[in-house]
């Protein structure tokens, strides 16, 4: 039996998850800015609304809905928005600090530098020509952090909690973006699978929001079709931002942790992961579209939430009463 402190697992998981979130927000906004300039006022506003729905919440954000400047403030620096980039990186750093002796010193330095860079960024400078480079740099720095993590860390339980954090976050983000975009763009399209000029930009935006456009084109050429997008972002087992890919990684990490800890309840956790994985393994895009993409995605998100909860109940925030019983 191999054990690590639950608190350490908790911090590693959230460190990873918050960084992934910061990365996602930065990329989404960066892509948004390249697309929104070519869109009509109305389509642009709807686009902002969709971004707000996935990245902040369902509430009204009138200013941010009407202006990219305000949107960028809200997404990047707003201290009151728990999911602003600044807050995500600060939270990731705080979690990293809690486990500093467990992680590599380069990892700490990297995350600390990111935090300082974002905190010291001034809004006016950002909007005088540094917009793209700023968000792009965040992506680069997160990649660097993940690179150090993958290159330098022993593949023990800790590393697997990092993986679970990263891919649970990623899978839910991808599922969420697919859901929100399809709900609006797909039902609005006249010919359901034909892409009109109006929505073409948004479909491409969806792909690029997951750095997927080039990879997609290699499979489907530049023929942007909603069904193919679903097939790619949801079901492709090889593309790192697809839901299927993420679930596979989660599943193998859950298995590793289950075997290491020999916890009686581990089976419950990886059975849940396994079920989700099997569901994606055998899914057909046409069937999904016919029976309703929205409910399918919702189901995936619910299962991701359940995996999170089960991981917590089993390894991290468990009731000591349960564990005492199982020790007897």
Partner 1 sequence: MLYSIRHTTRYQYTSPIVESVTEVRMQPRNTDYQQCSQFRLQVRPQARLFTYNDEQQNTVHHFTQPGIHQQLAIVAESEVLVLPRPGLPAWLPNDSWEAIDAASGQHWDWVAPSNDTAPTEQLQQLANELQVTRNEDPLKLLVALNHRLHRSIAYDSGSTHVDSPIDEALQHRRGVCQDYTHIMLALVRNYLRIPCRYVSGYLFHSRTDTSADGATHAWLDVWLPLLGWVGFDPTNDMLVNERHIEVAVGRDYHDIPPTRGLYKGNAGSEMNVGVRVRMLQGSAEQIENNEDESAEPTTYRSTAQQLQARYAETLAAIQMQQQQ
Partner 2 sequence: MAEARQVTATQDRRFQTYQLDEAYDEMFAPDGRPRPQYLTLFNRLLELSPSELEARQQSADLSFLHQGVTFTVYSDARGTERIFPYDLLPRIIAAAEWETIERGLIQRITALNLFLHDIYHQGQILADKVVPREMVYSSKHYRREMRGLDVPHGVYVAITGTDLIRLTDGRFAVLEDNLRVPSGASYMLANRQVMKRIFPGLFSQYGVRPLEFYGQALQNTLAALSPVSSEETTIVLLSPGVYNSAYFEHTFLARQMGIPLVEGRDLAVHDNIVYMRTTAGLRRVNVIYRRIDDDFTDPLVFRRDSMLGVAGLFNAYRSGNITLANAIGTGVADDKAIYAYVPAIIRYYLGEDAILPNIETYQCGEPNERRYVLDNLASLVVKAVGESGGYGMLVGPHSTAEERATFRTLIEANPRNYIAQPTIHLSRAPCFLEGQVEARHVDLRPYILYGKRVTILPGGLTRVALRRGSLVVNSSQGGGSKDTWVLTR
Among 6, 105, 192, 326, binds partner 1 (CB under 8 A): 6
- The partner in contact with residue 319, picked from partner 2, partner 1, none with C-beta cut-offs of 5 to 8 angstroms by kind, is partner 1
Which x/- pattern, by CB under 8 A, does the window 84-123 give for partner 1?
Answer: -------x--------------------------------
* Positions in 14-53 near partner 1 (CB under 8 A): 14
Query: Any contact of residue 267 with partner 2 (CB under 8 A)?
Result: no
Q: What is the dihedral of CA 307, 309, 311, 312, to 10 degrees?
A: 170
Query: Any contact of residue 10 with partner 1 (CB under 8 A)?
Result: yes
Among 40, 62, 190, 324, binds partner 2 (CB under 8 A): 324
Nearer to partner 1, 82 or 147 (CB): 82
CB of 130 to partner 1, least distance (A): 30
- Give residue 129's Cα distance to chain centre: 27
Query: Any contact of residue 309 with partner 2 (CB under 8 A)?
Result: no
Distance, in Å, from the CA atom of 302 to the CA atom of 308, rounded to the nearest integer, reads 10
- The answer to whether the CB of 204 falls within 8 A of the CB of 213 is yes
Select from 51-59, 255-263, 277-285, 304-312 the region that touches partner 1 (CB under 8 A).
304-312
- Give residue 79's Cα distance to chain centre: 21
* Positions in 112-141 near partner 2 (CB under 8 A): 112, 116
Distance, in Å, from the CA atom of 241 to the CA atom of 231, rounded to the nearest integer, reads 12
Query: Any contact of residue 255 with partner 2 (CB under 8 A)?
Result: no
Query: Any contact of residue 270 with partner 1 (CB under 8 A)?
Result: no
Query: Any contact of residue 324 with partner 1 (CB under 8 A)?
Result: yes
Select from 30-38, 71-79, 210-218, 256-264 the region that touches partner 2 (CB under 8 A).
256-264
At 51, list the tokens: 């971004």
Burial (Cβ within 10 Å: 0-12, 13-18, ≥19) of residue 320: exposed
Q: Report the b/e string of 234-259 with b at 16+ CB within 10 A.
A: bbbeebebbbbbbbbbbbebbbbbbe
- List C-alpha distances in Å: 250 to 160, 219, 256, 304: 8, 25, 10, 10
- The partner in contact with residue 163, picked from partner 1, partner 2, none with C-beta cut-offs of 5 to 8 angstroms by kind, is none
Q: What is the DSSP string of 169-230?
A: HHHHHHHHHHHHHIIIIIHH-SSTTPPPHHHHHHHHHHHHTTT-HHHHHHHHTT---HHHHH
Which chain residues interact with partner 2 by CB under 8 A?
Answer: 1-7, 9, 97-98, 100-101, 105, 112, 116, 157, 257, 260-263, 315-316, 318, 320, 323-324, 326-327
């Amino acid at each position: 039996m191999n054990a690590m402190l639950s608190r350490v697992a908790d911090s590693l998981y959230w460190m990873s998850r918050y960084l992934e979130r910061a990365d996602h927000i930065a990329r989404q906004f960066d892509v948004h800015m390249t697309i929104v300039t070519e869109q009509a006022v109305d389509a642009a506003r709807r686009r902002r609304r969709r971004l707000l729905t996935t990245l902040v919440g369902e509430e009204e954000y009138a200013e941010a809905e009407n202006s990219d400047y305000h949107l960028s403030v809200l997404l990047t620096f707003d201290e009151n928005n728990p999911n602003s980039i600044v807050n995500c990186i600060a939270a990731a750093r705080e979690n990293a600090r809690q486990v500093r002796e467990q992680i590599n010193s380069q990892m700490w330095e990297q995350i600390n530098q990111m935090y300082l860079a974002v905190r010291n960024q001034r809004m006016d400078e950002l909007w005088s020509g540094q917009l793209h480079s700023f968000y792009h740099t965040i992506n680069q720095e997160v990649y660097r952090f993940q690179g150090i993590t993958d290159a330098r860390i022993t593949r023990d339980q800790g590393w697997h909690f990092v993986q679970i954090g990263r891919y649970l976050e990623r899978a839910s983000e991808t599922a969420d973006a697919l859901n929100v975009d399809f709900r609006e763009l797909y039902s609005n399209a006249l010919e359901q699978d034909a892409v009109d000029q109006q929505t073409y930009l948004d479909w491409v935006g969806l792909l690029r929001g997951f750095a997927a456009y080039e990879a997609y084109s290699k499979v489907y050429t530049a023929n942007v079709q909603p069904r193919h997008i679903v097939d790619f972002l949801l079901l492709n087992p090889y593309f790192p931002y697809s839901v299927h890919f993420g679930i596979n990684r989660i599943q193998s990490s859950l298995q590793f942790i289950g075997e290491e800890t020999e916890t009686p309840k581990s089976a419950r956790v990886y059975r849940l992961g396994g079920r989700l994985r099997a569901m994606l393994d055998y899914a057909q895009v046409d069937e999904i579209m016919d029976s309703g993409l929205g409910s399918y995605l919702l189901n995936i998100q619910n299962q991701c939430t359940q995996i999170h909860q089960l991981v917590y109940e089993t390894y991290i925030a468990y009731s000591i009463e349960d564990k005492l019983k199982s020790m007897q």
